[in-house]
Each structure stands twice: as C-alpha cells, then as structure tokens.
C-alpha cells in the first residue's frame, strides 16, 4: 500500500539531506563572527584545478568544480549556522564523502542517459532547452535590475547596467569560482539547463511503465477516509481552510497532499463575493487614537461605576473631559477612515447599482471585486468561497458577514455591508453536500497524486542500484580530494 509520505528524488539532493542530518547532531558551533579556513582556488595550480577527480566515461568533475561545490556548502553552513564542516577530520570526511557521491551521481545520470540515447537531442528539444535558458537569464536580469534600481534610490550616481553586471558577476564567482566571468557563467547556465533537461528525459524513460493500480487507489482512499472522518468530525471548522487551500493551490495545508478533504461536514455553503477595501493603510496617528480611545473607555466605565455605587457625582468633571476627548478622537479617525474608504465605497455602490439593474452577479464580481481568491483563481470565481454559520475556521468571515449571509436564500445577493475588512456584497450560490466523497469521484485525483510519488520511488531505487556499481564505472581521484579542508 502507498502511504502518505513525501518521497524525494535522490538526484542532486543527497548532500543536502546528509548535511542537515549531521547539523542536527550539533557537531560543532563556532563563536559568532569567527572566521573559518576555507580552501580557495588560489591555493592550487591551474593544472590541479583542471584535473578530473570524478570520471564516468566521458563525463568528468574537475578538482576546481569539486572545490567550488565544497566551498559553497561550507559557506552556506558558515553563514547560516556558524557551523564549521572542517572542524574535525571525521566530520570533514563525512561531508566530502557525501559531496563526492552527489557529484558522481550527477554525472552518472548523464552517463546512463547517454547509454539510452537520450543525449542525442532533436532540434525541437534543443529549442525547448534554449527557451528555458533564455527565460532563466531574463528572470535573473530582471531580478538584479530591480535590486540595482533600489540601490540607485539611495545613490543616484550608480550606473544601473554596471551594477546589474556586478551582481551577476558576484553570483558567477559564487557558483563557478573566483575567476568567473559573466560570459562563462551564462555558458554554465546554458549547460546546466541542458543537463537538467536530459535528466528529465531519463526520469521519464525510466518511469514510463510505472502505473497506479485500482487496489493502490482503493487502499489509499480507505486509509485517508478514516483519517479525514476523524479529523473533520472533531475539527469541522478546518474543512473551509483545507478545501479552499486545495481549490486554490492544488494541495491541502501540508503543501503535499494533492487530494481534497474526503469528508464534508454539515453546514457549509458557497458564496460569490464582491469586495472593496481601503486605499493605503491607517496612519500611526489613527492607531494611537484607537489605543487612546480604548484607554478612555475603560477609565470612563470605572469612574461611572464608582459614581453609580456611591450615589454621588464625584467624577463628573473627569467624565465630561473623557467624553469630550473621546469625541474629538473619534471624529478625527472617522475623517481618516472616510478618506481611505472613499473610493471603496464609491466602487461598491457602482457594483450594487449594476446588480439592481439586472447585471449578472459573476460578471459584476469580476469587474469590481478586490478579493484575492476571486481575482486570482478561476475555480473560486466559478464555485465560490466557503461560508458557514455553524462552524468557525482559523481564517473566517466576520460575524457581520455571517449574519448577512443568514438572511439570504439561495440565488439572492445581500445589500452592501461593511466590516473591519471593507465593503461586501455576497451572493448565496450553493450548499456543499455533506458526507463522504465517493471513491469514483476522486479516483482520478488520487491517481494524479500517487503516480509521481510511485515514479519517484521507482526512479530512486534504480539510481540506488546504479550507484552500487560505482566501483566498476566511477573513477575517483582521492589524492586531490583529500587535500580539501585540512588544517
């Protein structure tokens, strides 16, 4: 039976998994700001840097490439955890062993792909690789251009194009070595895109016959149903959270399970939503006024109670002062609120007028609503948002919204109402059918969820088998590797 576990592809991840496990054992922590002795290419000759340390057929990893990978790993843990992977010989050896396995596996996958004829790429495939590469380069330049423009805001003398090139050069040096150039880095990115594409082809080839049986689906469904019945019976408010997560993102809140909740609690409905809100945020003065009004209200209540109990007007003057100050603060905040929500109010009133004149609610909603779920997700536009007057979710409608919904019959829309979020008009679209989802209704979804996991598992086992034969086809030059990180 296939369990709800997160199987990760081995390729390119071995070192990270291993490093995390070593770090968890708290091998060694340096004092804050301490410098670590990290090997640099300058310590070695050009001949050494170009010497292969891993060879698999025609695929090689040079000492310089190995050294740069090692330095990046060391720098990552030094900068993020103040952790020295060269602290003692045993730890250093463990890291280098896993790094060697990772880099060897990278080349082994390309070697196996070559054996299967997957490296003889068609013109169409080469075009797709180039498109991926061009998109990656475009995204990189856009990212660094945004950073450079931000830098220029504080220093107008900055040349944006030169700053962008420097950012890219810094990244290049980090990725491929201190002697890197932008041109060499772009070539590296192109080659990496090609290698990644070939490994994708290898994965597809190796897993092309992997299937999910009906028994797998039925077993997974039965186990998941037992879990969901228990969970959503005890936590019915969470149905809204999990179902809407699935509707919008394709997974529930664990970000892994790509199957919706299998139990629908009673008491849920769907609504369409026209929403407008403030332009900008309240000022600090507004927030201070709100805090002050809360303090005044507490003081007023306390003093009024004292006078009520004593039957005297001892606190009359202070009560009048509090009331006057409270009134002034409230008026000031009302003006700011009106200013911020002026356009929101106008916009919702325009939408409501169109509805009153017979316009379709869904069309008006798409034109006016500022609800992110409605704007960004077609499924929510068609099927609506979940609402329940019976259950409370972590992120839920306000009590005001639920009260307005309770007044509606199916097919009706509300009048304009306002809560702390802004202005709303809701349309009662449908009721969720309570009970268990049928296996036939979710079978395809379960297959789509389980198949990649089954493919990953099959692929991982195949890679493991290949790696068992490493002594036969993988040549390792430990003489140079052993030099790295020693103090």
Q: What DSSP line would sit under 322-371, residue for residue?
A: HHHHHHHHHHHHHHHHHHHHHHHHHHHHHHHHHHHTT--HHHHHHHH---
The pLDDT value given to residue 356: 97
Flag whether 137 is in a domain.
no
Flag whether 41 is in a domain.
no
The pLDDT value given to residue 45: 86
Going by C-alpha positions, the residue among 227, 228, 243 that lies closest to residue 395 is 243
Flag whether 407 is in a domain.
no
Tokens of 187: 């070539």
Q: Which helix (H) or strand (E) covers residue 426, if one does?
A: strand 423-431
Flag whether 293 is in a domain.
yes
Flag whether 419 is in a domain.
no
The pLDDT value given to residue 40: 54
Asked if residue 245 lies in contact with residue 395, where contact means CB atoms within 8 angstroms, the answer is no
What does the radius of gyration of the chain's CA atoms come to, in whole angstroms?
Answer: 32
Mean pLDDT confidence for 406-432: 97
Dist CA 343 CA 204 (whole Å): 53
Asked if residue 368 lies in contact with residue 383, where contact means CB atoms within 8 angstroms, the answer is no
Q: Which residues contact 200 (CB under 8 A, 6 or more apart)?
A: none
Taking the CA atoms of 50, 51, 53 and 54 in sequence, report the sign of the dihedral they define.
positive
How far, CA to CA in Å, does 309 sit from each of 303, 304, 313, 322, 364? 10, 9, 10, 20, 56
Mean pLDDT confidence for 321-346: 93
Domain holding 329, by residue range, is: 284-343
Flag whether 187 is in a domain.
no
Domain count, the chain: 1
The 10s digit of each residue's pLDDT in 56-75 is 999 999 999 999 899 889 98
Helix (H, G, I), strand (E, B) or coil at 7: coil
Question: pLDDT-based confidence at 350, cuts 50/70/90?
Answer: very high
- Mean per-residue pLDDT over the chain, rounded: 89
Flag whether 240 is in a domain.
no
Tokens of 322: 């509090």
Question: pLDDT-based confidence at 485, cuts 50/70/90?
Answer: confident
Q: Which helix (H) or strand (E) covers residue 113, if one does?
A: helix 89-115
Going by C-alpha positions, the residue among 74, 95, 76 that lies closest to residue 21 is 95
Mean pLDDT confidence for 466-470: 82
Q: Which residue in the block uniquely carries the two structure tokens 């009302």? A: 334
Mean pLDDT confidence for 415-434: 96
Mean pLDDT confidence for 89-108: 92
Burial of residue 282 (number of CB atoms within 10 Å: 0-12, 13-18, 19+): middle
Torsion of CA 210, 216, 217, 220, to 10 degrees: -130
Tokens of 250: 């394709």
Flag whether 307 is in a domain.
yes
């Amino acid at each position: 039976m296939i369990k709800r576990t997160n199987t990760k592809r081995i390729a390119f991840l071995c070192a990270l998994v291993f490093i995390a496990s070593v770090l968890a054992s708290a091998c060694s922590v340096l004092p804050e700001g301490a410098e670590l002795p990290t090997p640099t290419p300058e310590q070695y000759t050009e001949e050494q840097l170009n010497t292969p340390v891993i060879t698999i057929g025609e695929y090689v990893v040079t000492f310089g490439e190995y050294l740069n990978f090692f330095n990046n790993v060391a720098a990552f843990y030094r900068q993020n955890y103040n952790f020295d992977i060269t602290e003692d010989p045993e730890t250093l050896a463990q890291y280098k062993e896993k790094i060697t396995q990772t880099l060897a596996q990278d080349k082994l996958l390309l070697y196996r792909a070559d054996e299967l004829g997957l490296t003889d790429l068609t013109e169409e495939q080469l075009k797709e690789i180039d498109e991926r590469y061009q998109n990656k380069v475009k995204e990189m330049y856009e990212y660094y251009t945004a950073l450079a423009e931000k830098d220029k805001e504080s220093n107008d003398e900055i040349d944006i194009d030169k700053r962008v090139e420097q950012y890219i050069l810094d990244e290049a040096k980090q990725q491929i070595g201190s002697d890197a150039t932008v041109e060499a880095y772009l070539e590296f990115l192109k080659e990496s895109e090609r290698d990644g594409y070939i490994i994708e082809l290898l994965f597809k080839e190796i897993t092309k016959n992997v299937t999910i049986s009906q028994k797998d689906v039925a077993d997974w469904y039965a186990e998941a149903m037992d879990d969901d019945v228990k969970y959503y019976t005890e936590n019915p408010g969470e149905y809204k959270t999990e179902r809407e997560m699935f509707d919008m993102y394709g997974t529930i809140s664990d970000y892994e399970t790509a199957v919706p909740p299998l139990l629908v609690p009673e008491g849920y409905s769907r609504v369409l939503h026209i929403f407008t809100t403030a332009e900008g945020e309240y000022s600090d003065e507004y927030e201070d006024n709100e805090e002050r009004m809360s303090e005044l209200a507490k003081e007023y209540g306390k003093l009024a109670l004292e006078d009520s109990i004593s039957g005297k007007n001892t606190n009359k003057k202070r009560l009048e002062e509090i009331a006057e100050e409270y009134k002034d603060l409230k008026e000031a905040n009302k003006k700011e609120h009106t200013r911020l929500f002026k356009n929101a109010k106008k916009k919702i009133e325009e939408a409501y007028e169109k509805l009153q004149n017979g316009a379709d609610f869904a069309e008006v909603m798409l034109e006016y609503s500022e609800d992110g779920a409605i704007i960004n997700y077609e499924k929510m536009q068609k099927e609506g948002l979940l609402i329940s007057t019976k259950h409370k979710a972590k992120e839920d409608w306000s009590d005001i919204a639920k009260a307005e919904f309770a007044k509606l019959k199916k097919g009706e829309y509300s009048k304009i109402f306002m809560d702390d979020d802004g202005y709303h008009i809701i349309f009662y679209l449908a009721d969720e059918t309570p009970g268990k989802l049928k296996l036939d209704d979710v079978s395809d979804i379960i297959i789509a969820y389980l198949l990649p996991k089954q493919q990953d598992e099959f692929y991982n086992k195949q890679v493991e088998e290949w790696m068992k034969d490493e002594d036969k086809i993988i040549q390792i030059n430990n003489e140079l590797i052993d030099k790295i990180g020693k103090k």
